[in-house]
Amino acid sequence: MKDTILAVSGKPGLHKLISQGRGMIIVESIDEAKKRMPAGARDRVTSLKDVTMYTETEDKPLMEIFQAIFEKENGAPVALNFKEANKKELADFMASVVPDYDRDRVHDSDIRKLIQWYNILVRGGYTQFVDEEDNEEATETNETAE
């Protein structure tokens, strides 16, 4: 994914980095509105490339999880209604995507946020979550480790 996708605390949805200035950045929402707004030094801004999810072995990058969901759902938004899903439905969905996710440290709210963010990205036209080069390197590393 070439764009820098950000989550900004206090602002709903996900945003794309547009430009940087002194002490602030300009972000654009990833939805139909494409609303631009400043995010200052007081806003907690997190790049999705820096986010990981707990697993039983090592933390897994969020972009790899998005790619796994994309492949599972054949490129479509997740059909599961994350707002109304119960604990079991959320756990079953997560286990189908990341079988070794840490059931003690990954909460239902984390899974709901994961599905919400994935749906926002897919509806916003993002379909390549892991760069081809990174994906090939990970495959080679896994093959070498075996």
| pLDDT (tens digit per residue) in 89-127 | 999 999 999 999 999 999 999 999 999 999 999 999 998
Tokens for 143, please give them: 């093959």
pLDDT, residue 45, reads: 93
Distance CA 26, CA 40 (A): 9
Tokens for 93, please give them: 């969905």
Distance CA 97, CA 81 (A): 16
Q: What does CATH list as the number for 5-48?
A: 2.30.30.730
Q: Where are the domains of the chain?
A: 5-48, 51-140
- CA dist 31 → 8, 46, 49, 57, 110 (Å): 15, 18, 19, 35, 21
The CATH-assigned architecture of domain 51-140 is: Orthogonal Bundle (1.10)
The residue type at 28: E
- For strand 52-53 and strand 60-61, is the pairing parallel, antiparallel, or unpaired? antiparallel
Phi and psi dihedrals of 98, rounded to 5?
A: -130, 90
pTM: 0.85
Q: Has residue 141 got a pLDDT over 50?
A: no
